[in-house]
Structure 1
């Protein structure tokens, strides 16, 4: 791995983790925010973590790991189970939003499984 590649991987990882942290706890990470400022910070941090995460996960070795059949099966089944259970475990709009989000991830993993279905398996040495 070259220095430039390592540096870009490090920056993307830091941005992803910072965005994720600020999304989960914007008041604690960014200071005493209230109301509209807290909502704007949460949305901005979510967009930052999404963009950095997608860019990071499209690179090797994460791309091949996330595209492997065992990982896709896990993502499909786990997220499907959470999507089914979430509305009952977490009431109201939060449970519904969680169910929708996890359902979308499950559908994406299922689509990945269908795409890789026709490809021949590679043997490990």
Structure 2
């Protein structure tokens, strides 16, 4: 079954717009301190975080990305990398920022670990 050109163009436009908003939100979160002070800085930072989480969630639900994220090598990378970053952040970064970084990265590592375990349970044992 083939799709028409206008349908493909609509899908491509929506995907490009979603990726653009995601990248913009990440950039706003990271660079808010460079352009704003005080309450404006906090508003832009938290708004960027919320928008990037929303767009990231929507993008991760797309079939091709979902299939990529659920592969074993990607899950192992997410588990090991985020677990290491969480451990280092807990020690190297002080105060609330270190605790929040360690907690967030630890949650991602746990999610990837549970993905690895559930994939292991769903596989059937090899027959002799």
Q: TM-score, normalised by structure 2?
A: 0.85
Match of residue 42 from structure 1: 45
- Partner Cα distance (2:115, 2:72) in 1: 9
The one of 75, 80, 91 aligned to 2:78: 75
Aligned equivalents of 1:71 and 1:33: distance in 2? 36
The reply to whether residue 63 of structure 1 matches residue 66 of structure 2 is: yes
Q: CA RMSD in A?
A: 1.6
Runs of 4+ in 1 over 3 A off after TM superposition: none
Match of residue 12, structure 1, among 10, 13, 18: 18
Question: Partners of 1:5 and 1:118 in 2: how far apart?
Answer: 35
Query: Which residue of the partner structure matches residue 105 of structure 2?
Result: 102
Q: Quick one: distance in 1 between partners of 2:12 and 2:82?
A: 31
Structure 1 position 120, deviation (Å): 3.4
Larger Rg, first or second structure (1 or 2): 2
Matched pairs, number: 118
Structure 1 unmatched runs, 5+: none
Shift of 1:79: 0.7
